[in-house]
Structure 1
Amino acid sequence: KVAIVSTHISSGGAWAGLLPGIYRSIEYAGYVPLAIRFDEINDGQLTTSNFSAAVFPGGYSYGYKRGIDDWQDILDYVAAGGSYYGVCAGSFYASEEIEWDGKWYDYMPLFEGQDRGPLDGTTYPDYELMTVNVNDSVIGNMGDIVMMYYGGGWKDQLDQSNAVTVATYEYGGGDDGKPDAIRFTYGNGRVLLIGSHPESRSGSNEDWIYWDNWVGDSATPLNNPDNPWLFIDAAFDNWLIQP
């Protein structure tokens, strides 16, 4: 079973607009996604006996910081053998230092390096499709895959957590070639952080998301020629779900 953190409060958290894709992509990978709320995490229900992995979806990382009483509970869960999959805001939340729009903030020291965003030279605050190169000896050498980009960061100081680059941004802008996805271990647990949104499948309704089928604020169709769920499938099978 995979816990999907699904709470959104006034200061942020998991954004409902992408949650259907999170659930559907986890099902596609062959696992059972179950919602977990901030209250349930605060009550001690995020345990390795209940969940093999926890997903912190995109949205607004400050909401995770405000809504979860003590991030030590998350660190303890991973150290005990649980896996952490952080997407965009979920990746920012898990990084000890984050840079957002030139300003620095302290967050959870799961990843002891830095997550820095948004990328230079993108359409953000609009979303767009961006090529990501996946080249990892464990998750897979999958080559170029098109994924949604919506304000995620690039990972810096990987050596602070002995992290390995899984995927890089390939878009021709100022942060071209920098790490999009990284993986590392924390205690007995495994971590995967990614800035882009492989749960979104623009041009398809398989993700149960409609807005991502169109260029922002327009009637122009947006079609992803690739299936980024293949990355999620490989990430869970080959890394996040331990034998």
Structure 2
Amino acid sequence: MAYVYLYSGPGADEGNSEILVRSLQKSLKPGVYTVCGLTADEIIKGAWTSIAAAFVMPGGFDKGFIRALGDPGATAIRDYVWNGGSYLGVGAGAYYACDYIEFDKDGPLEVAGDRPLKFFPGKGIGPAYGPYSYDDERGARAPPVDFFQYPGPRSTSTKIYFNGGNLFEPYSKESSTMKNGSTSEVTMGTYEKPLGVYSGLPEQPLAVVKCTAGTGVAVLSGVQMEVRSSDLDGNNHYLKPIKQELQSYDVTNNIVWSSALQELGLQVVV
């Protein structure tokens, strides 16, 4: 039995984590994987790396990840991926895996700075659709996304749940590894290919990317591919119209989600 581990600790959104676990259990091939949580202390100790099929960083608040995991936790995750592991980051988990982030730049919620994993050699800039609120779901959307299915190059147009996620801006090939005043000498990963673009935004920026780091792989998503309309509270006046809008895309998004898991080398329900 292989294990798909989900970070469970400060910074992780409990509701999103529950949805992720449920979606993983539905989509991964039964009898092959067990999905379970890992605390920050367990991540730092590192015993999990030898039996992990993938590591998942959920949505939430990535400053919480940084405080809880520190350099030892980030190093454990980096080493796992660089040595052949698979990382899935959604929402905050995607921001956390960029070299540098800019959230709500020049706004009241501004967060900017280097991030430790550096699987994506570029910036995570968000929210791709604003405004965002930590207190409610007023920032939730169902933006159009063109997703490129595994193994490609088929393209699927869909709408996917979004709330505060980022777009990805890769550095130019001519750029040095030192960015934004960073003093880090940590080697960055390689941006391999787009998996999805925000088709409703100017210039269709990257919404989902696949990166390589050493012999490992990372799939990072600014949209929450794991969410279905049934996961949304129809009594919430922010979510009710989005729930209705996403219903007709649930089947397509099951395919998109499974495709992203396959990009990580995981076996899915056919």
TM-score normalized by structure 1? 0.85
Residue 149 of structure 2 contacts residue 156 of structure 2 at CA under 8 Å; is this kept in 1? Answer: no
**Structure 2 residue 73 is the aligned partner of structure 1 residue 65:** no
Gaps of 5+ in 1: none
2:249 corresponds to which of 226, 235, 239: 226
Whole-angstrom CA distance in 1 between matches of 2:51 and 2:87: 14
178 and 66 in structure 1: CA distance in 2 versus 1, 3 angstrom threshold:
same
- SS for the counterpart of 1:20 is helix
Aligned length: 228
216 and 199 in structure 1: CA distance in 2 versus 1, 3 angstrom threshold:
farther
2:196 maps to which residue?
167
Whole-angstrom CA distance in 2 between matches of 1:135 and 1:158: 22
1:240 maps to which residue?
264
**Structure 2 residue 109 is the aligned partner of structure 1 residue 106:** no
Opposite residue 95 of structure 2, the aligned amino acid is F
The structure that is helix-richer by fraction is 2
1:218 shift after superposition:
7.2
Whole-angstrom CA distance in 1 between matches of 2:239 and 2:77: 40
1:162 shift after superposition:
3.3
1:124 shift after superposition:
3.2
Residue 139 of structure 1 contacts residue 234 of structure 1 at CA under 8 Å; is this kept in 2? Answer: no
2:142 corresponds to which of 120, 129, 135: 129
Whole-angstrom CA distance in 1 between matches of 2:47 and 2:6: 13
2:48 corresponds to which of 40, 46, 49: 46
TM-score normalized by structure 2? 0.77
1:95 maps to which residue?
98
Q: Which has the larger radius of gyration?
A: 2
Whole-angstrom CA distance in 2 between matches of 1:136 and 1:219: 29
1:242 shift after superposition:
6.0
1:3 maps to which residue?
5
Whole-angstrom CA distance in 2 between matches of 1:34 and 1:163: 28
2:12 maps to which residue?
14
Gaps of 5+ in 2: 174-189
1:80 maps to which residue?
83
Alpha-carbon deviations, 1:201-229, whole Å to 9, x = none?
A: 12x2xxxx453x45545765722121223
1:136 shift after superposition:
4.9
124 and 186 in structure 1: CA distance in 2 versus 1, 3 angstrom threshold:
same
